[in-house]
Structure formats: structure tokens, C-alpha cells
A and B are shown apart, each in its own frame.
Chain A
């Protein structure tokens, strides 16, 4: 019994001393973790590249906002992560969002990371965030359009975001500009897939224009807005309801505005 009491007492002593030590020690900045270049890590990690990048990723995100976290550190970590494991998607997307937020003048780095991501990894978030970065930080609608379109075609994109990506630039006041960008893409490429994509987007915008014109005409003739798209067919304003290339269906709200739905 005495022995057990002594052991317990000693352990209490250890806990007390550790507590006192922590309370008294002067504050010290920890040296940042040295991240070796990707070729060195590749040699050292026994081929376990994904596991090494997971650890590096965990370290990088813990440091953001701390005394050791810096824009340069984050960019360099993400470059190392994506050199070792080019398919690890989230770091690309994360860099596109966080790097310009940390330092807006470094948008070019974020864009470069995004471009590598679009090429090497397969994840809708990379083109989607890249498009957002182009739009928010550079007001570059042409590139935003290209990457929203790439995001809309990426596998696994959630339905709501899919509709947002497809509908980018289709608000009434932006439509003419967006149509002009798609037309220039259509005219300037020989890539069949890209041409089909441009054609579908142009058709989508033309359908929106046509339906809106038909709604106005219906209002002028009948005095009220149509309740359904079919009402305009019954009134002889439309021959039939056009089929949207992306599969959107349309309803008409009480104020005559079109609302699109993606099945």
C-alpha cells in the first residue's frame, strides 16, 4: 500500500513539475517544419507518396493563421504536395481560394496552381474555384466562363453547383457578352468537343432569350403572364417548348420571370 502511495505521489510530483515548467518557460517561436523538395521526399518515402502528401497537407493547413504560417510557406507546400501526388485534388482548389485571400497581389500563383490542377487532377472543385478566382480577383469573364464550363462537365459535381456553373453569365444583362465569348470560342477552335460545348451554351442562351420574348408577347396579348411554358404553345406564340441542351426545364413565376430547373 505504501509503495503504491509512493508511486502515485511521485506521479503527482511529475505532473506538478511539468505544469510549473510550462508556466515558467519563456515563449519560444517554433522553427517551421523544414519541407524538403519533392525529389528528396520521393526518395525518402519508400514510394508512399500519397501518405507523405497527406502528412504534409495536414501540416500545411495547421500552420495557416499561426506565427509560422505564411503565404510563401503555403504555396511552396502545395507545390511540393502536388508534385509528389499530382492527383491529390483538394490542395489545388484550396490554394485558389486561400492564396488570393492571404495576399491578393499573388493571384498569379493561385491561378498557376489551378491550371496545373485542371491538367493533372480530376475534381470539379478545381475548375470551379479557378473560375471563381478569375471572376472575383481579375474580373476576367472569358476565363471564368471557360472554367465554369469545365466544372459543369466534371464528374461528381453536385446538382446545385452544376446548375450554377451552367448558368454562369446567363443573367439578362450579361447574356449578350457571354454569348459573344462562346461564339468567339466556337469560331476560334477546331476541337470538336469544345465546339459542341460552345454550341450547346449558345443554344442555351438563345432558348432563354426566346422564352423571355415569348413571355412578354403573351403578356401583351393576354394581359397576364403565362402560368406554364405550355400556355405559350397553346396561345400559338411558340410552336413547341424548345429542348435545352443541358436538360433544363423552365417554369414562369408570377412576375413573369423565368426559373430554370435541372432534372
Chain B
């Protein structure tokens, strides 16, 4: 048990250092900062709806830049180790495939969390600057977002065990899109044939249903979020990520290096 935790911690620390030093990350974060400042300007031309514009566009920006960071960094995570042949070295030590996958997962999650926290601080300053006070509910929306990012990281790691970075990125972006449109898909076939409805229901329940991680539209209006809902969302992210990581370990171990 001790070796297990120790190995995962060592790999995640290493992954964190590697990803946090990535120049692409800084490029994206500079864009995020410029974007946040731009929302302040947009607020001033909104006929008195400054806070609404800054909060809605600010939270959307934190989300979109978070997805970009996650997908770009996550999709090459395992593949890079194979390409550079550093994997042989790591696996020659008493380190299993599971250690490596979990270490990569937690390391990238830490990087994404730190980047998101940085964007969140800028957002909170912007809202306070415009007289909105401390936007505590936004922190809940960002926590939900981090749960979605955890699931996305697991997904990109899963994809990167069997495909090249470009394809992993493409798959991940598609899943993000579909994952946020499953409710619409179910509505679209509500009047369709029974078979069609069952097929869509199957897709609805098995693909990552990401709409539940989006409470941004609610927190903007200070709506109450029930504790049960939060607990279910945490459990969903945990179970889905666990399933993906388990499959990633399995595929990774099967892969001929």
C-alpha cells in the first residue's frame, strides 16, 4: 500500500512539474487574462448589466480555457512517454501501469486545478471591482467545473493509451460536445420510433453526461444548489473517472510497447 501511494505521488509530482512548466499552458493563461480584462470592457457597454455580462462571460471563459488546457495537456500525456521511450525506463522500475496512469491523472488534475484557481482569482477580482462583492457561488460553479475536468482528464488519458495526440484531442472535443448535448438529443427523438428512443436513451446513460457539471447559468441568478445534487455530481465524476482510468490501465497493459 505504501509503495502504491508513494509511486503514484512521485509520478503525479513529476507530471505536475512537467505540465506546469509547459509553454502552451502559459500561452493559454495569458489569453485567459486578456479575455477576463476584455469582459470588463464588455460590461461597460451593456447598458447597466455589467455584472451579468462579467459573471456569465467570465465563468464561460474559465470553463473554455479550462477545457483547452485539459485537452491539450491530457491528450499527449501517455503518448509522449511512449514516443520519448521514457516509459521503458519507468516501467523497468517497480512501477505498474496502474501507478503510471493514476500518477498522470492526479498530476494533470493538480496542474489544471492550479491554472483554474489562477483564472478564478482574476474573475473574483473583476466581479468585486465592479461592485459584485465576493462571488462565493461562482466558486461552487468552478468546483463543479473541476469535477468535469477530472472526468475529461480521465477521458483524454484513456484515449491517449491507444491513439495519437491529434486524434485524442479530436475525440475529447467530440465527447465534450456530445456530453453537453445529450438532453437535447433525448428531446429531439421524443416523438421518434421506440427503437430510436431506446438507442438514444442508451447513449444518454452511457456517454459522459456533462450537462450536470454546468451550474453556471444557475449561480449567475444566485439560485440555490441542493446538497444532494452536489453529492450526486461528485459521485458521478468519481465513478465515471474510475471506470475510464481502469479501462486505460487495462488497454495500456495490453499494448505492445
Contacts and interface: CB of A to CB of B under 8 A. Distances in A.
A50 B217 CA distance: 6
A61 B47 contact: yes
A212 to B, nearest CB: 39
Interface in A31-55: 39, 42-43, 46-51, 53-55
B220 A50 contact: yes
Contacts of A43: 181, 184
B52 A88 contact: yes
B99 interface: no
Contact of A90 (B42, B52, B59, B214): B52
B63 interface: yes
B57 A55 contact: yes
A87 B60 contact: no
Given A46-B180, A90-B52, A58 B211 contact: no
A57 interface: yes
B46 interface: yes
Most buried by A among B176, B184, B220: B220
Given A47-B180, A61-B46, A87 B57 contact: no
B56 A50 contact: yes
Majority secondary structure, B binding face? helix
A94 interface: yes
Given A47-B211, A54-B56, A85 B217 contact: yes
Interface residues of A, number: 21
Contacts of B59: 50-51
Nearest to B214: A47
B214 A58 contact: no
A48 B45 contact: no
Interface in A86-123: 87-88, 90, 94
A90 B49 contact: yes
B47 A54 contact: no
Contacts of A53: 56
Nearest to A48: B60
A61 B181 CA distance: 29
Given A43-B181, A46-B177, A87-B221, A51 B48 contact: no
A88 B63 CA distance: 20
A50 B63 CA distance: 13
A171 interface: no
Contacts of B45: 58, 61-62
Contact of B52 (A54, A62, A94): A54
A57 B43 CA distance: 11
B53 interface: yes
A39 B59 CA distance: 22
A210 B55 CA distance: 50
B225 to A, nearest CB: 15
Interface string B33-67: 00000000010011111001101110111011000
8 contacts: A42-B184, A46-B176, A46-B177, A48-B64, A50-B55, A50-B59, A51-B60, A87-B221
Interface of B: 42, 45-49, 52-53, 55-57, 59-61, 63-64, 176-177, 180-181, 184, 210-211, 214, 216-217, 220-221
Instruction: List the 8 closest A-B pairs by CB distance, nearest first.
Output: A51-B60, A50-B56, A47-B214, A48-B60, A54-B56, A47-B180, A51-B56, A54-B53
